[in-house]
Homo-oligomer: A and B are copies of this chain.
Amino acid sequence: MAEEVSNKQVVLKDYVVGFPKESDMEVKTSNINLKLPEDSNGILLKNLYLSCDPYMRSRMTNRDRASYVESFLPGSPIIGYGVSKVLDSRHPNFKAGDLVWGFTGWEEYSVVSSPQLSFKIEHTDVPLSYYTGILGMPGITAYAGLYEIGSAKKGDHVFVSAASGAVGQLVGQLAKLTGCYVVGSAGSKEKVDLLKNKFGFDEAFNYKEEEDLDATLKRYFPEGIDIYFENVGGKMLDAVLLNMRPHGRIPVCGLISQYNLQQPEGVYNLSNIIAKRIRMEGFIAFDHYHLYPKYLEMILPYIREGKVSYVEDVAEGLENAPSALIGIFSGRNVGKQLVVVARE
């Protein structure tokens, strides 16, 4: 028999121009049947933790060009990564009671009709919420960006921007474990303290307090930067280009300083790419999910042995999800921003 329950949802009201506001989303309630129809091939999820990630901004824009992810549909719930419990399954890989991480809706219950991007959670001795971050998409992003794209090796001088975020904090710690010299930038004293005292960066600075980023980078990297893990773009990228070492690498993970601008800032120092033979390469976690088992094998012991720290910024309840999401674009969060919908 059909078991109909109410389903609270966070819905995008309309496409966004410029900085997103809480009022661009609204919390609505609809109903959902907790049994999948017989002709379904999908899974029905109870959502536990939702992930707030910078790339989601691009899905709030009505794009005239194809991108690697579709724009959200106004009137429909926001889509993102999350951790969920399977309540019903018509898919051979999943059964009721399984825990999964992957794409889901910003709502209490979601139907994922083709769960290619749902990963079964096998290890539950670590906090489940970690699968929105260090054990999920941001984790693979850090790992693939640093090693596959950045070719990090012992002795490299590594600079990470947005370094206290979900990806940045992990990049810095992995680089340290690899034997690199690591400097991070962030946007508050509190975050800078975290970088130095909690995550073990060699140095860190508050970019908002630096008048001349070129001079700042020269101070921290008198011999230049081998790897710039790029999360922000704009003026920081321009300053970095002046301070790269020959054969340096710039894995381009994000350009968060640009996402809400109607006209992006120009980048002026690209000529350094030739003189210094810089490799600048964009990447997305999606292309690297085949590395996930290998990554887990490395990172789980680090977490269990306390060799890697992880800081989350937790918002309670779907009602607070819009505010949590927009907060990451002004840097309000400290550490990985997530939303708790339910704890089990």
Are B274 and A284 closer than 8 Å at their CB atoms? yes
Are B246 and A270 closer than 8 Å at their CB atoms? no
How would you classify the secondary structure of chain A's contact residues: helix, strand, loop or mixed? loop
Are A287 and B277 closer than 8 Å at their CB atoms? yes
Give 11 new A-B contacts, CB below 8 A, not counting A266-B268, A279-B280. A68-B246, A233-B270, A237-B270, A252-B274, A253-B274, A264-B270, A267-B268, A274-B284, A275-B282, A275-B284, A277-B284
A237-277, CB under 8 A of B: which get 1 and which 0?
10000100010000011110010000111111111111111
CB distance from A147 to the nearest CB of B (A): 16
Please provide the chain A residues from 63 to 77 with a CB less than 8 Å away from any CB of chain B in the complex.
65, 67-68
- The yes or no answer to A281 lying at the interface (CB within 8 A) is yes
Are A279 and B281 closer than 8 Å at their CB atoms? yes
- The yes or no answer to A278 lying at the interface (CB within 8 A) is yes
Are A275 and B68 closer than 8 Å at their CB atoms? yes
- The yes or no answer to A283 lying at the interface (CB within 8 A) is yes
Are A268 and B264 closer than 8 Å at their CB atoms? yes
Alpha-carbon gap, A154 to B255, bound state (A): 33
Complex copy number for this chain: 2
CB distance from A320 to the nearest CB of B (A): 28
Alpha-carbon gap, A267 to B271, bound state (A): 11
A194-233, CB under 8 A of B: which get 1 and which 0?
0000000000000000000000000000000000000001
Are A273 and B246 closer than 8 Å at their CB atoms? no
Contact of A281 among B68, B266, B277 (CB under 8 A): B277
Are B65 and A242 closer than 8 Å at their CB atoms? yes
CB-CB under 8 A from A274, the residues of chain B are 252-255, 282-284
Q: Residue on B with the closest CB to A65? A: B242
Are A268 and B277 closer than 8 Å at their CB atoms? no
CB distance from A61 to the nearest CB of B (A): 11
16 A-B pairs in the complex with CB atoms less than 8 angstroms apart: A58-B275, A68-B275, A233-B270, A233-B271, A252-B273, A253-B274, A254-B274, A258-B271, A264-B270, A266-B266, A266-B267, A267-B268, A272-B282, A273-B282, A275-B282, A279-B281
CB distance from A221 to the nearest CB of B (A): 14
CB distance from A66 to the nearest CB of B (A): 9
Alpha-carbon gap, A275 to B237, bound state (A): 18
Q: Residue on B with the closest CB to A248? A: B282
Alpha-carbon gap, A270 to B272, bound state (A): 15
Are B264 and A265 closer than 8 Å at their CB atoms? no
Please provide the chain A residues from 272 to 312 with a CB less than 8 Å away from any CB of chain B in the complex.
272-284, 287
Please provide the chain A residues from 50 to 96 with a CB less than 8 Å away from any CB of chain B in the complex.
58, 65, 67-68
Are B283 and A277 closer than 8 Å at their CB atoms? yes
Alpha-carbon gap, A267 to B284, bound state (A): 22
CB-CB under 8 A from A277, the residues of chain B are 281-284, 287
Q: Residue on B with the closest CB to A237? A: B270
